[in-house]
């Protein structure tokens, strides 16, 4: 949380709020990032699209500035043409990504409200962050939203946990942010309290820095956590260290899973010796960890990154299975959780209030695809894709409207996406800056930033309601998304339906009234609108009635049934088994990924590439700012390598290298880190996509965007999530002359 200081219309300083115990440094990007020469000054149309509706030069063409009315007219005409000639499912209103924390000026909500009024569109389901988790967990234990908001707090961990095993670590860099906004950064404080209480932390990750305060580091190969977990399960079973009573009373299907672990169903015992060959962790170390977990009150955590990989459903299913075998689910400090270190609110104990959002209405088409299958949809209209027990037929997309988010950051195999993105006839974008999203559009509307409008920050996982006051006039000719879509609605004769005869301030007051009603239903009183705007903030009382995660289910599994088909933890799922997916069977399983160290593809590309979130920006936001640029090397994102891996390739620290595989190549600067497992390299996401169109190698990306390298396949037929962390590469010194 920050206070922005402005002098004579210019941002001079961004000051952390005094109520935040550990404010993020990301706010520094606002100082020069908002008022930057990359701002879009007025509506613009791509030249060759305007002249002939040509598509092949999309991403490399110049733009012509036009008046607002002309741009709005053209956009409305295109939307109407496509809807009439091809149907509304031929419009893709994607708009996925982190946008303003405000409740009203939320780009996706504004876009979807407008597009629903004109007949709807094709949408995206789930998120790039947690798609596999969102689909697998309701079958196994609970909905994703319930997990996020109800799983154990750091206070509960400090009070009850003896051993905290973190698969994927707890990277504090990610806790700077939370969707919907965060006002108090307390994850580091929570870890410190737990350590002081005697909790022992084990970091199971190829990156030691993924949990800097851990007592022990187990450098598991990327993408092989399930093999390690299965070997722990094997040890618990054969040494009789599991809670058979809990498995009998609170779970279903352990007997089937047990046959698999012992190798009776496939003739492969999932022993520590078997797992050691896959995950490169000594078998004795695996056995010791299993015994430690059985001997102590153990909490098992899995990072979000684990499920962003081929077969990403399996590590989350296996995490729940292991916790069930230990029998400590629902006990103080025991059980499992996900994403401790993924966002700043996870592990907090603040009261959860589901605040009302700006109404999008109903999508008349009812059409949606898995979020990470966008390129497949654009390239292969008419094809079908399996998803969670059903089949979805891809529509023929003729128009994309994007407002909020950056597909050139989130998606995988960006060279493939570039080919796909040139298929639609028209791409319309609302964007404040000349980002890759804007440059790959045909019609571009300049949008305001959160500093150029008024809004309410009210998150279901945060204790504060904050007035996000306007501190700058709209820059150049920028308009809010609300104003842009109101202008388009007017051209369809739908202005009153869109704005309900309210201006932006009237909408905020209306939303506050709805917030008051929601709070009152939970016994919380909010001030009147005028009082709130005068003070600018209001803190929600803490929840003194919070019960430990799954404690009621533990005490009464029949009376407090889970929302799974059986009402219990499903170690074996009859539902998933009935789908007959070879890539997601009926229980947690080790499935060989498309590529991995020691496995397929490693002879040609012997390094595993991790693409974590950056520490100096949120995804790709404000990558143009000084705060983001200062950590780059010669303007390129920094690739972290183990010094010995660099030495055998003749690479010096600070050198520019070419990172490549069969999907593409990018340039990066090199930094050394002996805290990486050997043969693992790390290149953060978020560098603005910049292909070298003048090169003989058109796939070469110049800024260090790892998603020109990542694999664009679904996690499985169940969730079809992104598989970004299944990626092998090679690295070599870059010679611009070759």
Residues annotated catalytic, as ranges: 96, 98
Q: How far apart are CA 655 and CA 634, in angstroms?
A: 9
The position carrying tokens 């992104």 is 722
For 384, phi and psi rounded to 5 degrees?
-110, 155
Contact 587, 593 (CB under 8 A): no
Among 434, 419, 430, 476, which residue's Cα sits nearest to residue 452? 476
Among 328, 303, 326, which residue's Cα sits nearest to residue 316? 303
Containing 659, the helix (H) or strand (E) segment is strand 656-661
Among 344, 290, 369, 312, which residue's Cα sits nearest to residue 461? 344
DSSP 55-106: -TTTTS--EEE--HHHHHHHHHHHHHHHHHHH-GGGEEE---S---SBSSS-
In 76-213, the DSSP E strands lie at 91-93, 122-125, 163-167, 200-204
Q: Helices in 556-632 by DSSP H: which ranges?
A: 574-579, 626-629
Contact 346, 339 (CB under 8 A): yes
Q: How far apart are CA 207 and CA 670, in angstroms?
A: 16
Q: How far apart are CA 186 and CA 181, in angstroms?
A: 14
Q: What is the DSSP letter of 618?
A: S
Q: How far apart are CA 579 and CA 571, in angstroms?
A: 16
Which sign does the torsion angle of CA 63, 69, 72, 76 carry? negative
SS3 at position 478: coil
Containing 337, the helix (H) or strand (E) segment is strand 335-338
DSSP 400-417: EEEESS-HHHHSS-HHHH
Residue 345 token pair: 């609110």
- Please tell me the number of Cα atoms within 13 Å of 433 on its side-chain side: 19
CA 483 to chain centre: 28
Contact 570, 250 (CB under 8 A): no
Q: How far apart are CA 163 and CA 182, in angstroms?
A: 28
């Amino acid at each position: 949380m920050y206070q922005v200081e402005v002098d004579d219309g210019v941002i001079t300083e961004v000051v952390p709020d005094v109520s935040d115990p550990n404010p993020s440094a990301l706010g520094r990007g606002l100082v020069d990032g908002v008022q930057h020469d990359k701002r879009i000054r007025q509506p613009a149309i791509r030249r060759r699209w305007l002249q002939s509706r040509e598509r092949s030069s999309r991403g490399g063409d110049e733009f012509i500035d036009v008046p607002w009315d002309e741009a709005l007219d053209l956009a409305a005409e295109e939307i109407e043409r496509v809807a009439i000639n091809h149907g509304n499912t031929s419009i893709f209103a994607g708009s996925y990504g982190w946008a303003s924390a405000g409740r009203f000026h939320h780009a996706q909500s504004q876009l979807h409200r407008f597009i629903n009024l004109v007949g709807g569109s094709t949408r995206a389901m789930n998120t790039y962050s947690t798609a596999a988790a969102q689909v697998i967990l309701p079958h196994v234990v609970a909905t994703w939203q319930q997990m996020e908001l109800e799983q154990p707090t750091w206070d509960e961990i400090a009070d009850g946990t003896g051993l905290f095993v973190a698969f994927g670590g707890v990277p504090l860099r990610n806790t700077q942010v939370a969707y919907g906004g965060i006002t108090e950064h307390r994850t580091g404080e929570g870890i410190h309290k737990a350590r002081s209480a005697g909790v022992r932390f084990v970091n199971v990750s190829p990156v030691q820095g993924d949990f800097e305060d851990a007592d022990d580091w187990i450098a598991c190969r990327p993408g092989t956590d399930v093999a390690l977990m299965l070997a722990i399960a094997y040890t618990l079973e054969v040494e009789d260290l599991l809670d058979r009573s809990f498995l009998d009373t609170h779970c279903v299907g352990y007997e089937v899973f047990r046959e698999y672990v012992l190798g009776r169903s496939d003739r492969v015992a999932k022993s520590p010796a078997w797992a050691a060959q896959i995950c490169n962790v000594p078998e004795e170390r695996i056995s010791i960890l299993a015994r430690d977990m059985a001997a102590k009150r153990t909490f098992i955590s899995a990072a979000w990154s684990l499920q962003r990989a081929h077969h990403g459903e399996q590590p989350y299913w296996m995490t729940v299975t292991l916790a069930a075998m230990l029998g400590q689910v629902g006990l103080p400090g025991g059980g499992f959780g996900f994403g401790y270190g993924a966002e700043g609110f996870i592990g907090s104990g603040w009261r959860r209030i589901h605040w009302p959002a700006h109404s999008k209405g109903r999508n008349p088409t009812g059409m949606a695809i898995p979020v990470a299958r966008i390129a497949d949809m654009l390239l292969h209209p008419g094809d079908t894709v399996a998803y969670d027990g059903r089949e979805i037929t891809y529509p023929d997309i003729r128009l994309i409207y994007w407002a909020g988010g950056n597909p050139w950051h989130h998606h995988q195999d960006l060279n493939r996406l570039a080919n796909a993105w040139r298929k639609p006839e028209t791409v319309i974008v609302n964007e404040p800056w000349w980002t890759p999203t804007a440059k790959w559009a045909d019609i571009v509307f300049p949008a305001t930033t959160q500093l150029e409008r008024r809004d309410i920050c009210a998150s279901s996982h945060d204790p504060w309601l904050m007035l996000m006051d306007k501190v700058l006039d709209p820059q150049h000719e920028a308009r809010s998304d609300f104003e842009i879509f109101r202008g388009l609605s007017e051209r369809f004769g739908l202005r009153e339906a869109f704005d309900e005869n309210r201006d932006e301030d009237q909408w905020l007051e209306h939303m506050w009234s709805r917030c008051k009603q929601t709070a009152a239903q939970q016994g919380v009183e909010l001030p009147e609108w005028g009082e709130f705007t005068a003070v600018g903030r209001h803190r929600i009382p803490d929840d003194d009635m919070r019960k430990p995660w799954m404690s009621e289910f533990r005490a009464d599994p029949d009376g407090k049934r889970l929302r799974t088909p059986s009402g219990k933890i499903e170690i074996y799922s009859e539902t998933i088994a009935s789908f007959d997916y070879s890539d997601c069977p009926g229980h947690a399983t080790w499935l060989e990924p498309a590529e991995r160290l020691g496995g397929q593809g490693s002879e040609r590309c012997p390094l595993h590439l991790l693409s974590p979130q950056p520490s100096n920006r949120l995804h790709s936001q404000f990558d143009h700012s000084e705060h983001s640029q200062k950590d780059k090397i010669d303007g390129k994102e920094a690739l972290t390598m183990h010094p010995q891996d660099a030495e055998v390739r003749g690479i010096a620290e600070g050198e520019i290298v070419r990172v490549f595989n069969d999907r593409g190549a990018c340039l990066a600067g090199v930094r050394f880190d002996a805290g990486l497992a050997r043969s693992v390299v790390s290149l953060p996401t978020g560098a603005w996509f910049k292909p070298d169109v003048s090169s003989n190698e058109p796939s070469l990306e110049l800024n260090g965007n790892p998603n020109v390298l990542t694999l664009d396949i679904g996690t499985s037929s169940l969730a079809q999530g992104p598989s970004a962390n299944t990626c092998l590469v090679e690295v070599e010194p870059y010679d611009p002359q070759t």
